Amino acid sequence: MLKSTFPTILCALLLLYSCEWKGQPSKPTAQEEKPNTNYKPAFPGQTRITPVKTTTPYKVEVLNDVLGRPWGIINLPDGRFLITEKSGFMNVVSADGKSVSKIMGFPKVDAKGQGGMLDVALDPDFPTNHIIYFSFSEPYANGNHTAVERGNYRKI
């Protein structure tokens, strides 16, 4: 019995020894970012990582600069965009960005802070059933809740 137990105990002790805390956590390097919050970290250096910088080229092309506070965006099958507006409605924007149609009639939205009309998604069977799903901040007595609803979208 002792001969078969000894290797198991030895392995367990070696494993525990290898996991033992040995010293202080590393100090942040000069390249690491300063905290972006006042929350106290659980240990020094928590969530402070070296920034990742890319050399990947990209092109910015402004399609429309008259939208108020856009939040979520999806492509419709015909090439247009469906864009949620933080204050409580959606816009249908043409593929070239030049034409904007406003869709109203949504439930009341609490647009304070990070609230508002949030994301939008197409039903997997959208070409047939024309169903969209959207999330929004729904007001209630002591603040708001995040709610999800669905609606029937007909081509405008």
E-only strand ranges, the chain: 70-75, 81-85, 89-93, 100-103, 117-122, 131-140, 143-152
pLDDT recorded at residue 14:
57
* Phi, psi of 105, deg, nearest 5: 90, 20
Residues of the chain with pLDDT > 70, as a percent, come to 72
Given a cut of 80, is residue 101 above it in pLDDT? Answer: yes
Are 115 and 137 contacting, i.e. CB atoms less than 8 angstroms apart? yes
Task: Compute the average pLDDT of residues 134-145.
Answer: 90
Tens digit of pLDDT for each residue in 10-25? 656 555 555 555 555 5
Q: How confident is the model at residue 105 (pLDDT cuts 50, 70, 90)?
A: confident
Q: Give pTM, 2 decimals.
A: 0.62
Per-domain residue ranges of the chain: 70-152
